[in-house]
Amino acid sequence: MNSYTEENYLKAIYKLTEQSEGNITTNAIAEVMNTKAASVTDMVKKLADKKLVNYAKYQGVRLTKKGEDIAIQIIRKHRLWECFLVNKLNFKWDEVHDIAEELEHINSTTLVDRLDEFLGFPKFDPHGDPIPSKNGIFSANNFYKLLKLNEGDIGKVAGVCDHSNTFLQYLEKQKLGLGTSISLTEKNEYDQSVVITTADGRAIFLSKEVANNILVAI
Amino acid sequence: MNSYTEENYLKAIYKLTEQSEGNITTNAIAEVMNTKAASVTDMVKKLADKKLVNYAKYQGVRLTKKGEDIAIQIIRKHRLWECFLVNKLNFKWDEVHDIAEELEHINSTTLVDRLDEFLGFPKFDPHGDPIPSKNGIFSANNFYKLLKLNEGDIGKVAGVCDHSNTFLQYLEKQKLGLGTSISLTEKNEYDQSVVITTADGRAIFLSKEVANNILVAI
DNA sequence: CATATAATTTAGACTAACCTAAAATATCCA
DNA sequence: TGGATATTTTAGGTTAGTCTAAATTATATG
């Protein structure tokens, strides 16, 4: 059994691994965990003792298979609970992260599997992130950054890259929720801003920054 | 904000208060918390500093209004989660306690209230225990111990006094779940055992110990 | 009512997870 | 390639919650 804190470190290391090549540095972990590098060193040693990470002094860490499996199961729980909160309890997509952060540590395989079934085995969470299956497999998707699409392309909003509340609330205000059908009507070379049109005919201007954080299924 | 551990102490003290008169002793708390008396003394001092209990050395403790309110909210969460697990995720009534013990510490008033609504504002949990409302009010019930009923009385199984898995599983085996209609057909003076008859005509023999732990709504 | 026993508290120590400051190592660049 | 700088680790300390053993207070009984 791993502590709440150990689980959070594993999850953090997993997410850093997704974003960068090579070993994960102590400072990078300290940053996302909101602690100091010295604390990370302590914890990393403990995780190494438990064979959850490979660690050599000054070389950073990498999750072992065992550590990765645990991290994936935590992500599975987090995303399933987010589905529950949004689909069953009518939370908005910008309200669920902190609660799911707590719920993800509830310890019962049966609970997770029953929840999965209750929700109809969803493949993606309310932000479009894939939900790993019971045995840790992520569904493939065909999502592309809105910024990379060409004029005339059509699709549906399928996910976000930035999960911050301010970004999610901005999309909400523009009525760009998951599943919204859009077409790319205009690309501005100069600042890379775009204009999209929704199914109900609204034209929406989006900056490069925004377009880069919206994923579209085409 | 109170820690997970502080919440468990408050809940333990609340439950002991339900069962006994006067102040709650250090040893009694140590027993239900599975710790030593010395640890309880430390925690009780902390809770007293936070004005959650009244405490005087060697005199035991009593919850303040503030402490009691927190305890009741934890019980509310515990029982609502038990309803969720049984009614929505098809857990059996003997499988939910440990999971609810974790879920009860999830910190979000909105979550609890939305869950309450999602479940249809249940008044009793899967063991027949009353669920306090948002403002801490418990529903009254008209439940009587099966042992105290008279021959010919009819009613429905509405709750249990013993919440142990062995007891719940025993009732399960006898197909005496919550809501089962029964009539008391025979009382044996000698050993206080009883015979009840279910709606579908099964006669079930129950010892004094069992009859004393079954609550019936008449 | 005095003393034996039981309950409670204090004292001092442990672990997990964190911290700061200092030491050790790695990296970068002139 | 040799400093300068940045990163990481070590050393030593803190807090929450626990423990054991000893000291204190309450209670019970002859």
**Structural domain boundaries, residue A22:** 4-63
Query: Above 90 in pLDDT, residue A43?
Result: yes
Contacts with B77 from chain A: Cβ below 8 Å: none
Mean pLDDT over all residues of chain B?
Answer: 97
Confidence of residue B165 (pLDDT cuts 50, 70, 90): very high
Q: CA A155, CA B100: separation in Å to the nearest integer?
A: 42
Say if residue A142's pLDDT is above 90: yes
Distance B43 CA to D18 C1' (A): 11
- Domain assignment of residue A20, yes or no: yes
Instruction: CATH number of the domain at A205, please.
Output: 2.30.30.90
Here the CATH number for the domain that contains residue B25 is 1.10.10.10
Domain end (from B47, B63, B79): B63
pLDDT score recorded for residue B57:
95
* CB nearest to B89's CB, from A89, A103, A118: A118
Q: Identify the band that residue A71 occupies on the pLDDT scale cut at 50, 70 and 90.
A: very high
Q: Which residues pair with A194 in a beta bridge?
A: A187, A206
Can you tell me which residue has its alpha carbon closest to the C1' of nucleotide D8?
A: A58
Task: Look up residue A60 and give its two tokens.
Answer: 């950073």
Share of chain B above pLDDT 70, in %: 100
**What letter would DSSP give residue A138?**
P
Task: Identify which of A148, A91, A80 has the alpha carbon closest to the alpha carbon of residue A118.
Answer: A80
User: How many domains are there within chain B?
Assistant: 2
- CA dist., res. B81 & res. A144, Å (int): 39
- The per-residue pLDDT for B1 is 85
Please tell me which residue of chain A has the smallest CA distance to B107.
Answer: A99
Handedness of CA B8, B11, B15, B20 (dihedral sign): positive
- Is strand D within 7 Å of residue B187 (CB)? no
Q: Is residue A71 part of a domain?
A: no
**Is residue B161 within 8 Å of B129, Cβ to Cβ?**
no
Of A85, A88, A114, the CB nearest to B90: A114
Let me know if residue B132 belongs to a domain. no
Q: Does the distance separating the beta carbons of B90 and A99 come in below 8 Å?
A: no
Torsion of CA B143, B146, B148, B153, to 10 degrees: 90
Q: Is the pLDDT of residue A55 over 90?
A: yes
Residue A72 structure tokens: 């994936």
Task: Give me the mean pLDDT over the A198-218 stretch.
Answer: 96
Distances (CA, A) of A11 to A149, A161, B198: 32, 18, 52
A1: confidence class by pLDDT, cuts 50, 70, 90: confident
> To the nearest whole percent, how much of chain B has pLDDT over 90?
99
Q: Is the pLDDT of residue A198 over 90?
A: yes
Q: What pLDDT score does B125 carry?
A: 98
Average pLDDT over residues A139-167: 96
Tokens for B92?
């059996």
Query: Given a cut of 90, is residue B195 above it in pLDDT?
Result: yes
Work out the pLDDT band at B52, boundaries 50, 70, 90: very high
- Which chain A positions have a beta carbon within 8 Å of B103's beta carbon? 103, 106
Q: What is the pLDDT of residue B34?
A: 97
> Tokens in use for B175?
């197909």
Give a yes or no: residue A151 inside a domain: yes
HSE (side-chain half, CA atoms, 13 Å) at B133: 5
A147 pLDDT higher than 90: yes
| Neighbour tally for B202: CB within 10 Å | 13
pLDDT value at residue A54: 98
Whether residue A129 is contained in a domain is answered as no
Angle at which helices A4-19 and A65-83 cross, to 10°: 100
Q: What is the pLDDT of residue B7?
A: 98
Mean pLDDT, chain A, integer: 97
- Give the residue carrying structure tokens 């303040």: B64
Q: Is residue B110 one of the residues assigned to a domain?
A: no
Answer yes or no: is A99 within a domain: no
For the stretch B56-88, pLDDT in tens is 999 999 999 999 999 999 999 999 999 999 999
Q: What is the dihedral of CA B142, B146, B151, B153, to 10 degrees?
A: 30
Per the domain annotation, does B93 fall within a domain? no
Q: Is the pLDDT of residue B148 over 90?
A: yes
Write the pLDDT tens digit of every residue in A80-137: 999 999 999 999 999 999 999 999 999 999 999 999 999 999 999 999 999 999 999 9
